[in-house]
Amino acid sequence: MELLGLDIPERTHAHNPLVFYAQPKKVEKWIAGLPRAHLGETSRLIYKGLSELNRLIVPAEQRSSVLELFLEPTEYIIRELKKHYLEQSFPLSSKNHKISILVLKILQELAIAYKTVVETELADKGKSFNQYRIALAIHRAMEQTNAILLHSYQTYTPHPDNIWLELHKLYQFSLDNNLHLIPIHHTRNSKDLDQNIEEMYKEILLFALVNPYQLTQNDIEFINRSLHRWTPFCALTNLVFSEISTSLFTVNLDQDEPPSYHTSGTTYNGNYLVLDTTTLANKIHDALAVAKNQNSTDSVKDDLEGLSSDTLRRIMLSWGLLSKRNFKRHNVSSQVHITLGITETHLFLSQRDSSDNTPSTISNRAIFNSKATEDSGILLDVWDFSSAGSRNKTQVISSNMEGSQHSQQQLSQDSQENGSHFFKITNESAGGYCLLWKPRTAGSLKVGNLLCIHQSTSENDTADYNICVVRWMKTIGDLMALGVEILTAFAQATSTKLLDDDGTYVEFTASLLLPALPSIKRPATLLTSTLYRSGDTLLLRTHNGEKKIKLANILQTATTFKQFQFSEFSEQNIKNTEEPDDFEAIWSSL
């Protein structure tokens, strides 16, 4: 029987006759004796064991049995090692970056191990192969592929080459041989589940379609854990039996590419599948409607595992609508500064409003020169959400920073001399920017960070600026690509403090007042820290004075800020509550 041609290493007979990897009972004893209190040593032994097993000639039946023993300790070390790069700002420190690479290598070795079972079984048994053993190996290989993609998305790095092509090969083989519906027992989120190959494959397709590079690490994790509940609401069929509509996605089984949006008028030549997510998108839409009726603005729980409403809306759009560009891109060339976070942006705006000084006194800023290039007529669109993880677009970003060795050295030298970061704009539109950054230090950015991009049209002009939010990130070698959305071209530096239960206010914190947008009938909104909630009563201080407000709907929740609509109290109410009488403590002593 023809083999699948999967990418697995050559295997040889063991030079040491005492090697035990082909003997399940000895492997079980070895695993029981792993020094789990020493995570580093346990990780080294597991990685070394998988690597050696993948390069030895072992019968498929024995290899499969041994690998099942490796699963639990491998999951344990991955879970512990991930703590070094989750909930971290990017770029990662050198140590944490190395740990993330180790995790990727371990996951890849485990995926290779199960693909080796498939190829070995087919080579040894031909058409009389053991169906369940092959189905188990394919499902496990897909499960590890899913884990590799999860790792790539959570570390904002490109996924390995050929990962999609081999995934498509595995599914196509299972479909051709009626293996795709065989239930496979596995453990997910500490729960025992039965899942077939088709369900696992649909999980991975759906995962790619939510454009994880735009999400926080926690949201990526939550979505990945939830996907097995959502696969029953989408259908995967052959292209020739499907009626294409704009709500469907296509999968090219002959290419190393994730699923893509179907566009009207496209001619498909080749081996394609169609993924229909209409029912799934409607289900999420209904869940959001229920949450709104129950006044649950922060999260939707139960089946949707506490994902924020904002994230669920993004998922609904990803699975239910074709992403279209709203703004035309164009080339720009300018020098700009960046301040990160509400506090630094508040400082910049305060100094800008109070004097004509340039923002050179702002601390923690980044300086970059913009230079949009157009290699092969293609530019990465900051708002082309469907392509944030595309391989072709990744190559374009990388090529924009490629050039002579001198230019790369100059980039690093300028960054060091300026004592600041150096960015480049690859394109600009009315909706946002795509930025490239060569970081010098670890831990500055996360998806959802607020930043302010400001620039001067001439040396004597006051800097123009845009308040933006980081919507996606991706690491490309030693560079980082950022897609930022423009929230507003004007904001007022304000301060807010919370009214406590006892009627007193806590300390002021920095906030930003965004102007009303009459074109979309949106009133003025407030950007605050993430500590506030809908219904909180605040004292808002602007350059016109102070007023008492009540926070209403949350328009969005990001990593470092929330955006609220709010309502104002009357002038009399603020006078009555601004300085409450402090007599309660003395009544009982009189």
Q: Which of 57, 64, 156, 54 is nearest to 108 (CA)?
A: 54
Question: Ranked by mean pLDDT, which of 50-54, 184-188, 446-450 comes out on top?
Answer: 50-54
Query: For residues 422 and 163, which has the higher predicted lDDT (pLDDT)?
Result: 163
Structure tokens at 539: 């004292």
Give the Cα separation of 118 and 138 in Å (integer): 7
* pLDDT value, residue 375: 38
Tens digits of per-residue pLDDT, 501-550? 666 667 888 999 988 877 667 788 999 988 888 888 898 998 878 888 99
- The answer on pLDDT for 243 being more than 90 is no
- Yes or no: say if 358 and 333 are a contact pair by the CB < 8 Å rule: no
- The answer on pLDDT for 376 being more than 50 is no
**Three-state SS at 539:** strand
Structure tokens at 293: 């009726």
Rg (CA), the chain: 27
Give the Cα separation of 207 and 231 in Å (integer): 11
Confidence band (pLDDT; 50, 70, 90) for 73? very high
Residue with tokens 């806590």: 506
* pLDDT value, residue 370: 34
Question: Ranked by mean pLDDT, which of 88-97, 324-333, 335-344, 355-364 comes out on top?
Answer: 88-97
Structure tokens at 427: 């394109």
* pLDDT value, residue 585: 47
Share of the chain above pLDDT 70, in %: 71
Give the Cα separation of 177 and 366 in Å (integer): 56
- The answer on pLDDT for 94 being more than 50 is yes
Query: For residues 192 and 176, which has the higher predicted lDDT (pLDDT)?
Result: 176
Q: Which of 194, 225, 68 is nearest to 137 (CA)?
A: 68
Confidence band (pLDDT; 50, 70, 90) for 397? very low
Query: For residues 296 and 256, which has the higher predicted lDDT (pLDDT)?
Result: 256
Mean pLDDT of the chain: 77
DSSP character for 489?
A: S
- The answer on pLDDT for 323 being more than 50 is no
* pLDDT value, residue 111: 97
* pLDDT value, residue 574: 43
Question: Ranked by mean pLDDT, which of 237-241, 269-273, 325-329, 511-515 comes out on top?
Answer: 511-515
| Count, residues in the chain | 590
Give the Cα separation of 74 and 42 in Å (integer): 9
Give the Cα separation of 153 and 212 in Å (integer): 6
* pLDDT value, residue 15: 66
140 to 129, 133, 137, 221, 450: CA distances (angstroms): 17, 11, 5, 19, 40
- Yes or no: say if 53 and 65 are a contact pair by the CB < 8 Å rule: no
* pLDDT value, residue 434: 82
- The answer on pLDDT for 106 being more than 90 is yes
* pLDDT value, residue 142: 97
* pLDDT value, residue 324: 47
Residue 9 half-sphere exposure toward CB, CA atoms < 13 A: 16
Phi-psi map region of 498: left, alpha, beta (phi>0 left; psi -120 to 50 alpha): beta
* pLDDT value, residue 37: 92
* pLDDT value, residue 445: 83
Instruction: Find out whether the peptide bond into 91 is cis, omega within 30 degrees of 0.
Output: yes
Q: Residues 414-439: what's their mean pLDDT?
A: 64
Tens digits of per-residue pLDDT, 456-505? 544 445 557 888 888 888 887 778 888 888 888 788 899 998 887 666 66
Q: Does domain 492-578 have CATH number 1.10.3470?
A: no
How would DSSP label each residue in 12-57? B--SSTT--TT-HHHHHHHHHT--TTSHHHHHHHHHHHHHHHTTB-
How would DSSP label each residue in 366-382? EEEE-----BTTB---T
Confidence band (pLDDT; 50, 70, 90) for 245? low
Q: Residues 39-51: what's their mean pLDDT?
A: 93
Q: Residues 387-411: what's their mean pLDDT?
A: 40
201 burial via Cβ count (<10 Å: 0-12, 13-18, 19+): buried
Residue with tokens 């499902």: 139
* pLDDT value, residue 369: 35
Start-to-end CA span in the chain (Å):
97
* pLDDT value, residue 282: 80
**Three-state SS at 589:** helix
Instruction: Give the residue extent of every domain in the chain.
Output: 24-182, 335-488, 492-578
Structure tokens at 314: 């993004």
Question: Ranked by mean pLDDT, which of 98-112, 218-232, 278-292, 362-376 comes out on top?
Answer: 98-112
Q: Which of 89, 97, 95, 96 is nearest to 478 (CA)?
A: 97
Question: For the chain, what is the largest distance between any 2 Cα atoms, rounded to a whole number of angstroms?
Answer: 97
* pLDDT value, residue 403: 37
Dihedral angle over CA of 210, 213, 214, 217, nearest 10? 100
Query: For residues 368 and 548, which has the higher predicted lDDT (pLDDT)?
Result: 548
Between CA 171 and CA 373, with CA 323 as vertex, the angle to 5 degrees is 100
Question: Ranked by mean pLDDT, which of 84-88, 119-123, 326-330, 335-339 comes out on top?
Answer: 119-123
Question: Ranked by mean pLDDT, which of 270-279, 309-318, 413-422 comes out on top?
Answer: 270-279
- The answer on pLDDT for 383 being more than 50 is no
Q: Residues 247-264: what's their mean pLDDT?
A: 84
Give the Cα separation of 328 and 382 in Å (integer): 11
- Yes or no: say if 182 and 134 are a contact pair by the CB < 8 Å rule: no
Question: Ranked by mean pLDDT, which of 5-14, 99-108, 205-214, 328-337 comes out on top?
Answer: 99-108
Query: For residues 218 and 389, which has the higher predicted lDDT (pLDDT)?
Result: 218
Tens digits of per-residue pLDDT, 553-583? 888 888 788 999 998 876 544 444 444 445 4
Give the Cα separation of 394 and 144 in Å (integer): 23
Share of the chain above pLDDT 90, in %: 32
* pLDDT value, residue 129: 94
Question: Ranked by mean pLDDT, which of 89-103, 155-169, 386-400 comes out on top?
Answer: 155-169
- The answer on pLDDT for 298 being more than 50 is no
How would DSSP label each residue in 326-347? -S--B----EEEEEEHHHHHHH
Q: Residues 423-445: what's their mean pLDDT?
A: 75
